[in-house]
Structure 1
């Protein structure tokens, strides 16, 4: 029969406690949202108004929501990496190129036993450096640069090669075990012991005078180092000490420099990070993500302070070590008493402790700190260049970062106004009213209920009063099968 498909629609409306005669015809074809089945209302709000009579919603001001696109964040990270790379390159150049002239001056002062001026303060070095530059030019301060870089590169290569053929780790972390730390230090000691003869050849090239000596070649550091290594027990030239006597002080100086530098660098890094964290807390914005440029800056500053502390503390040991390496090499150096003289190196030490005792006895305790003013100038200039480069790179990075797009203003969506209630059935056309009438309680035009033949108009008992009672009572009292039969007979009667 026609109209059987609407039973489910009417049954759902009845279970939701919603009078189906107030539903418009258009919503009959819409799918029923079953998610609201258990959220049916028990009563309707009384303050529903017609849209024409409802007051307009209050206007709200436009608010700008911050908007940061992904490409801007990626650009910031990329510029941070460029800044980190730039500051690392500046630090590398300052450590190896800018500091080399002062290393040359310092070593010349350390190995000069007969010098009258100790140059403990930087101010006494300035006249001698001016005279030396006037006589020999700027090239006198850059001698031996190639051999120094070569020795550093060979040391790193030896460490890498030994770590590949042995279980000794090349790098360690603060969480490494004592066994790993011991093996790492053993790796460092092995590399320093093997590089000792080449270190002696590089030291000779940095202190010998260009006026009284021939300019060394590119591979002379390897030739002189191999010759020094082959004469391991007793060299063939005069007072030159054998290599085995130089290995112990060289390895001791290198390991102590490494330990002191790393310890001071770690402590300084933690202090700088804590200070940076406290500074952010004072400003009220603590960043969750660490920036690479800030990390690189902290790491370089801590490494700078670590190198400075190790060089200052081990300066007397370095003086004795250089004098032992230079003994018997027949090297002529530049005298920095006035800046335009040369002197030969003539010493006769039996070993480390003999050199220490002789130096303190003949030159005093300050004799161990000859050329300390050059170290002060070196690290002062190194720190100034590092700080200046950091400021310049930070400013350039901020300039090159593209400006972020302006935040887009967004309107907050106003709450929806309540819709007007559906008009009552009496205001509709009687034909439409019949379409929206209830099949369970439909009435004729005269007000008498339209019931199928054989069914009384007035239900027995309280059946009629329970048709529009609460959903729980309806589910208990209404027989769905009987109601379906009544609905079919009602539709057949209307036809």
Structure 2
């Protein structure tokens, strides 16, 4: 009875231990015919050969790891594609939660066309707001800064608003938008000069980022300095046009600032007096002002935007940690050995990049730029006042009376340079003379912040997950 299947430690137990099922013996087991004369059929079975042990070499082990990583990455991408197909008709793209469930829900990414359209719309809205809403505050601020005989310094927006109302009532609605045409043309001229210098030299990059080398950054700063120096005469002509009172002079032609720019560049007499400072005396402080403004604004914007991104990353990590159930992507990721998960991390998870996330990024860029401009304007306001007074000196400019908002008065000064202007203003006007018209700057940024909040509200309405 020893050879009867299913009893003791016979063939059945051996089949269970080797084959696993006990029904279908492996092919290596052979049945032998019984010897003649024996009364009972006896089955002799060959024992299976033991498997040869495999020794892993370092190269073989690395190949095995790579194959597992590739398999896990393909599995993750397949599951992500399945999730995208499942939720392709969802009205809210992005990462959300299913109703009545704690399992995360993944929506498909926004198209590249939609992102570019949103970026263009935000940029266009920001530019139009600067020209239509913010520019009058710029005109009021400049007239206060070059006025060295006024009794009211306008430190707050409340006093400057009354003056603006009186100016519009006496001179018309468009009196606060004088020089807006030359303002746009100076910006276009600056863009053209930078593009021409960058294309002609091939060594002065027009744009840099955090991955740029020190050589590229130095070339970019040199490009900004050269463009500021070349455009400076036309900027000076635009400055005079923006503060000239319409009650005491005719409206200048569309190309007035171009002729005045060349006259300032080559030192033609024109209507200027001998008090006008030569071009070479204004070049260094003006270029230094624009460079300080550009560098300080960009450094502050980069720092603030980095803080926003770090905060968003922490919030994103907390949201992922709170969604404890594993998705198919997490399961595929955890099935890969820890030494090979880097390949899975490189899978482009495009479905997590949604419209709401792109809109949040756009808003953070606008907000960081706004905060950087506010800080820069406050820090460089005294220097800007000095630069404006040096450019206007000797041009026989007549400005509006900023004490009452009606009437006009001439600009008369005898500054020898930046240091002489600083000492004269502090001596005769006090330190507050360097901050004349600061209320107009506050009003300007309050209006820009209101526009920024309107843009943010529109982004929230289009993407409720912000």
Which range moves more in the overlay, 299-308 or 203-212? Answer: 299-308
Q: Give the whole-Å Cα distance in 1 for the aligned partners of 2:268 and 2:288.
A: 19
**What is the match of residue 68 of structure 1?**
87
Indicate yes or no: 2:230 matched with 1:194: yes
Indicate yes or no: 2:312 matched with 1:276: yes
CA contact (8 A) 1:87 1:297 kept: no
Q: Give the whole-Å Cα distance in 1 for the aligned partners of 2:302 and 2:365.
A: 9
Structure 1 residue 259 displacement after superposition: 0.7
Select 1:86's aligned residue among 103, 121, 127: 121
How many residue pairs align between the two structures?
A: 344
**What is the match of residue 160 of structure 1?**
195
Q: Give the whole-Å Cα distance in 1 for the aligned partners of 2:179 and 2:230.
A: 20
Q: Give the whole-Å Cα distance in 2 for the aligned partners of 1:86 and 1:359.
A: 44
**What is the match of residue 47 of structure 1?**
none
Q: Structure 1 pair 235/204, CA: closer, same or farther in 2 (3 Å)?
A: closer
Calculate the TM-score normalised by the size of structure 1: 0.65
Q: Which runs of 5+ in 2 are unaligned?
A: 1-10, 12-17, 25-82, 92-107, 324-350
Q: Structure 1 pair 39/328, CA: closer, same or farther in 2 (3 Å)?
A: farther
Q: Give the whole-Å Cα distance in 1 for the aligned partners of 2:459 and 2:176.
A: 29
Indicate yes or no: 2:154 matched with 1:119: yes
Structure 1 residue 276 displacement after superposition: 2.1
Structure 1 residue 278 displacement after superposition: 2.7
Q: Give the whole-Å Cα distance in 2 for the aligned partners of 1:95 and 1:127.
A: 21
Aligned with 2:416: secondary structure?
coil
Select 2:137's aligned residue among 96, 102, 113: 102
Indicate yes or no: 2:396 matched with 1:330: yes
Q: How does 1:275-294 map to 2 (within 5 A)?
A: 275-284=311-320, 288-289=352-353, 291-294=357-360
CA contact (8 A) 1:88 1:296 kept: no
Aligned with 1:343: secondary structure?
strand
Q: Structure 1 pair 354/233, CA: closer, same or farther in 2 (3 Å)?
A: farther
Deviations 1:160-204 (A, max 9, x none): 111112111111112222222111111111111111110110001
Structure 1 residue 99 displacement after superposition: 1.2
Calculate the TM-score normalised by the size of structure 2: 0.69
Deviations 1:139-176 (A, max 9, x none): 01111001111111111111111111211111111222
Q: Give the whole-Å Cα distance in 2 for the aligned partners of 1:101 and 1:387.
A: 20
Structure 1 residue 83 displacement after superposition: 3.1
Q: Give the whole-Å Cα distance in 1 for the aligned partners of 2:267 and 2:363.
A: 46
Q: Give the whole-Å Cα distance in 2 for the aligned partners of 1:308 and 1:392.
A: 23
The root-mean-square deviation of aligned C-alpha atoms, in Å, is 2.8
Give runs of ≥4 in structure 1 deviating > 6 Å: 232-236
Q: Structure 1 pair 75/295, CA: closer, same or farther in 2 (3 Å)?
A: closer
Structure 1 residue 42 displacement after superposition: 3.7
Deviations 1:110-146 (A, max 9, x none): 0001000001111221221221121112201111001
Aligned with 1:333: secondary structure?
strand
Structure 1 residue 397 displacement after superposition: 5.6
Select 2:289's aligned residue among 230, 253, 266: 253
CA contact (8 A) 1:81 1:292 kept: no
Indicate yes or no: 2:370 matched with 1:304: yes
Structure 1 residue 74 displacement after superposition: 5.9
Structure 1 residue 235 displacement after superposition: 10
Q: Give the whole-Å Cα distance in 1 for the aligned partners of 2:418 and 2:142.
A: 18
Indicate yes or no: 2:171 matched with 1:174: no
Larger Rg over CA atoms: 1
Q: How does 1:3-14 map to 2 (within 5 A)?
A: none
Q: Structure 1 pair 145/364, CA: closer, same or farther in 2 (3 Å)?
A: same
Q: Give the whole-Å Cα distance in 2 for the aligned partners of 1:355 and 1:394.
A: 49
Structure 1 residue 84 displacement after superposition: 3.1
Q: Structure 1 pair 301/232, CA: closer, same or farther in 2 (3 Å)?
A: farther
Structure 1 residue 40 displacement after superposition: 9.5
Q: Structure 1 pair 161/232, CA: closer, same or farther in 2 (3 Å)?
A: farther
Select 2:23's aligned residue among 43, 56, 64: 43
Deviations 1:340-364 (A, max 9, x none): 1201001111111111111111101
CA contact (8 A) 1:133 1:140 kept: yes
Q: Give the whole-Å Cα distance in 1 for the aligned partners of 2:311 and 2:128.
A: 28
**What is the match of residue 105 of structure 2?**
none
Aligned with 1:99: secondary structure?
helix
Structure 1 residue 213 displacement after superposition: 0.8
Which range moves more in the overlay, 188-197 or 170-179? Answer: 170-179
Indicate yes or no: 2:451 matched with 1:385: yes
Structure 1 residue 218 displacement after superposition: 0.7
Aligned with 2:408: secondary structure?
strand
Q: Give the whole-Å Cα distance in 1 for the aligned partners of 2:253 and 2:376.
A: 32
Q: Structure 1 pair 78/234, CA: closer, same or farther in 2 (3 Å)?
A: closer
Deviations 1:317-357 (A, max 9, x none): 00000000000100100011011120100111111111111
Q: Give the whole-Å Cα distance in 1 for the aligned partners of 2:182 and 2:427.
A: 34
Structure 1 residue 102 displacement after superposition: 0.3
Indicate yes or no: 2:407 matched with 1:341: yes
